[in-house]
Copies of this chain bind each other. A is one copy, B any other.
Amino acid sequence: MLLQDVLKELRKAGIRLTPQRQEVLQALFDGLQGECQPQSAEEILQVVRKRYPGVSPDTVYRTLGTFKKLGLVREVNFRDGCRRFELALQGGHHHHLVCLRCGRSRELPFCPADCLVRVQEYCPDFEIEDHAFTVFGYCPKCREESRDVFRETVEV
């Protein structure tokens, strides 16, 4: 799905298409490229300001909240002190593997869907809205580096 399609959807949903919102959306689409690092509000703000200086953090947060309510954006937590956001386009559902040292993440094409089914059976009257599955640990690069540090320490 492309930016244009999403804009159409938003219009259909009765969302006013301000330039600010479009820029935030664009930033979210940009974040989809490459290694897919969900972005913090601050990061999105910086991207947006390149094209549209003067946007306020408040607007970014408000817009992300709006998009989240529409199911267009998902929030993820990487335990690095801020919330992160990424587009939740249909068919692209995934989760993350996060390095607790460098903070980089990798997409995981696994989803504990069976657990969700069991949860729904376990609590039939609970209305499930979203779920998080995130794996934390240390990436190969960071493990390598800490091994180096260890060597240096020992050799001294």
User: What is the interface of chain A, defined by CB distance below 8 A to chain B?
Assistant: 75, 77, 79, 83, 97, 99-100, 106, 108-112, 114-116, 118-119, 122-123, 125-140, 143
Contacts and interface: CB of A to CB of B under 8 A. Distances in A.
B97 A123 contact: yes
How often does this chain occur in the complex, in copies?
A: 2
Contacts of A109: 122
10 contacts: A75-B79, A108-B115, A110-B118, A111-B115, A112-B112, A112-B114, A126-B140, A127-B138, A128-B137, A130-B136
B132 A134 contact: yes
A71 to B, nearest CB: 13
A69 to B, nearest CB: 11
Nearest to A81: B83
A126 B136 CA distance: 9
A131 to B, nearest CB: 5
A134 B134 CA distance: 9
